[in-house]
Amino acid sequence: MKIVRMLPFLDSEEIDELLELLLNNELKDESLSISSILPFLHREQIKKVLDKSLEGTIAIKPVYILPFLQDEELDELVDKINGEETDVLKMDELLPFLNKKQIQKLFQDSINNVKKEV
């Protein structure tokens, strides 16, 4: 039986074990990927996947993880990459996932960066 079909029925320890195997590239089942288990991960696990993705140590693009982040993680991510473009994630890719407050902060930061000094 394919592991991907079991995902909704696995407990958190089994999902964690599966995630570690995927992060360490220790599975030969090519039908199973990190992106396929994202909906079943807990907050800490998603953060771990995002960090590895930003580092470039796993083959999933950070943009695919964004829908699973909560506002606090998005705040941290905006603060981390604001003002500096990374090779793996651009600020433009974050916009659809930000709330109004986050967008307003980003807008104010952008305005302050382009204002002429008087």
Distance CA 21, CA 26 (A): 5
Q: What is the pTM of this model?
A: 0.83
The CA-atom distances, in angstroms, between 92 and each of 44, 75, 85 are 25, 15, 10
pLDDT category at 23 given cuts 50, 70, 90 is very high
Q: What is the pLDDT of residues 51-81, one digit of tens each?
A: 999 988 898 999 999 999 999 999 988 888 8
The tokens for 71 are: 């506002």
